[in-house]
Structure 1
């Protein structure tokens, strides 16, 4: 394990020139953070970025958490960047204009973003053979990153540690939890307390098989459209049943295209988003590749301009430049379910929380409920039979969602939210996170 020399604190940076100028925003100097690279394997360099707990962001409607947790955020894709998407678009202390985000998770704890798998975001490989091809390899790399991170910040090792995930990050998070559990010994006794699987890609086919009925029931497909989507989903299922996982991934993509392009341009991440081709085609695993050549994506501009210079990222590294390669390397593992791994996590006694945005399509709530019914957890029948409880962030606010809880397992439905729950329902997500911790 080698920790790269590029490791800084924010107070050491001064820059001049147009890259630092934001007419409506602030600066990364306005928040306290730290970052670095860990060489997890030969030719595999993974980037982490920590934003420290900031009491100025403490939600007025929630009590302070004591002790302060460390919250690891894992993005989806695979190949999407937590330091970019999760940080600036969802839950970090600053938004895309570098203005304060009042619903930042740094009001509750230290927030750690890791660009994983290697090749995502500012993480990179210097040899194409270093890409990971399955979630077990991703988990092994994450253990190495966490060892490097805690070697830099040993003072945080006793703090409660939670892994919060989104999309494919949920699938990765399951393996990361089991991998971290296996090395909880000696000098790296990480205080892992639980995980939140947000709109998690836990059972791909339960999502794919429910797309058609979900869109039909919400008035976004007619009979002909339903038939087409169901036919494509059945072909995807056939590839899964045959164990042809790469073909299953290709057929998943085809099924997706039937809803995002023809006939209604449904946005795969929020069915109530504007129905036009640009938004519908916005791929969360590599947004920059799908933006018209004459239109600069603001996140790509921010990350490859001001942020890259501020952090001192090597000139040869392009944020998101290896994203498609990451996805392609995982194509043989992408459609494999990890329901069994969720069962294993519940058995450890750690808190396991599944939460889902009601307006999400790619990982829709009906599909989530389908795979949860396949758990072998001994109390599943009791759990499913109980009534859900309406939840709200604070007295007087509309219902933000519903929850079921039993022992160390919870399921939350989040209203008025799509795939990116923290972005769509910021206040309620803070309440949910606080309740989980």
Structure 2
């Protein structure tokens, strides 16, 4: 456990548009706290069957720096041999009975702002972006585990030439990370586990839950998977983009034809397994819509945000939105404040390898993960919850429903025939939902790519419904 001290910060968070450097010095943390996998989580239940996905492929190093505040935490690296170092940050709940309180794992993938920053300080961690104790942090009711995944995002680092290029590799790295977490915190092994995946993190979330269910002594862990504006079938969702933008008045009929043409090209490329080409076109989609569809300065991630005509963005521009939301300040919180507080070496630049990580997923990012959602629904008892911010044009809600309404599992007819209900909070309509015991879908108002950031009140209600049933 990192030692804790009070930190007084007069000015924080600068340049939240995180630079994606092309390479930094890769390192292996070796301290007297390093632990090998032997005798760890694989054998914690006495099964002795610890040969599931590569024993002795990793160890864990608990970090200790100057300390951060008075709220307990564990910050650590899972050192994956031949691949890199996965950073994770754990806050035990401040409520009583910690070991039985649900544990939330948060993943955000390569296209969003890493969880150690956005989810942690920007949305629902114990401290806000100014390092003040947050009112109504999720840690008051649940334990939180933020993982900067895949390797190369956030504080997680890559080894040269060993970049994760497919979802199975990323999932194995997450399995190692969870095992190392439980080796340090065995008391949480039987706490209900909810895996949240936002954006690209949704692919990892459903894959991780499915993988855990196939490992005998870990199969009890996942209780629920939660998909937020998830990149599950991105090309299919884009087929509704032209309709979405025209209905909102951002483009006219000619613009819709142009958008539908590029969407069909992307979808055709995916169907023909030309995933790299589809990914390249996806990343240029924001520029295309603004330059070729008559929708100048439209933020596809948060459609009502007004931009300047000179603004140029990719379709997953959370960094720009965070920059506008939190402002430009004089220091970079992650490199100047958090890094020394946690004891991370100065050679590690936060999100400095993001461009490498993004390049690595070029050939796999657009592969649909619908089959993994169907596997969870058809073959496990894991609940699946999907919520989508209605102001997100890329993962637009009509497009998301294209794959949700066509899922193949035994409860699908019950789901599609169930009545859509209204989510009312304090007299305000915050969204709508369709609910069955195994699958729930939320239409979320006043929210774009990140519902917890844009509509935290509604997100807290969803959280209680998912985990607490009320």
Q: Same-fold call, TM > 0.5?
A: yes
Q: Which residue of 2 aligns with 1:232?
A: 262
SS, match of residue 28 in structure 1: coil
Q: For residue 429 of structure 2, give the secondary structure of its aligned residue in structure 1.
A: coil
CA distance in 2, matches of 1:300, 1:241: 45
Higher helix share: 1
TM-score normalised according to structure 1 size: 0.86
Partner of 1:41: 81
Deviates more, 1:365-374 or 1:188-197: 188-197
1:310 paired to 2:341 = yes
Distance 1:285 1:419 in 2: 9
**Aligned partners of 2:418 and 2:355: how far apart in 1?**
43
Give, in angstroms, the shift of residue 424 of structure 1: 1.0
- TM-align CA RMSD: 2.8
Q: Following TM superposition, by how much is the alpha carbon of 1:275 offset from its aligned partner in structure 2, in angstroms?
A: 2.7
Pair 131,78 (structure 1): closer, same or farther in 2 beyond 3 Å: farther
1:35-184 matches, within 5 Å, as 35-55=75-95, 67-78=100-111, 80-127=113-160, 129-184=161-216
Residues 1:339 and 2:327 aligned together: no
How far apart are 1:392 and its partner, in Å? 2.8
Alignment of 1:353-364 (within 5 A): 353-364=385-396
Q: TM-score, normalised by structure 2?
A: 0.80
1:379 — aligned with what?
411
Stretches (4+) displaced over 6 A: none
Post-superposition CA distance 1:71-101 (Å, at most 9, x none): 0001133474110122122221222112233
SS at match of 2:386: strand
Q: Structure 2: which 5+ runs fail to align?
A: 14-66
Q: Tell me the matched-pair count.
A: 409
Aligned to 1:253: 283
- Check whether the contact 2:74–2:90 (CA below 8 A) recurs between aligned residues: yes
- Tell me: CA distance 1:326–1:277, structure 2 relative to 1, closer, same or farther (3 Å): farther
Change (3 A) 1:122 1:282: same
Q: CA deviation at 1:416?
A: 1.2
8 Å Cα contact 1:286-1:320 kept in structure 2 = no
Q: Which runs of 5+ in 1 are unaligned?
A: 1-7, 57-63
The 2-side partners of 1:283 and 1:359 are apart by 13
CA contact 1:80–1:284 (8 Å) conserved in 2: no
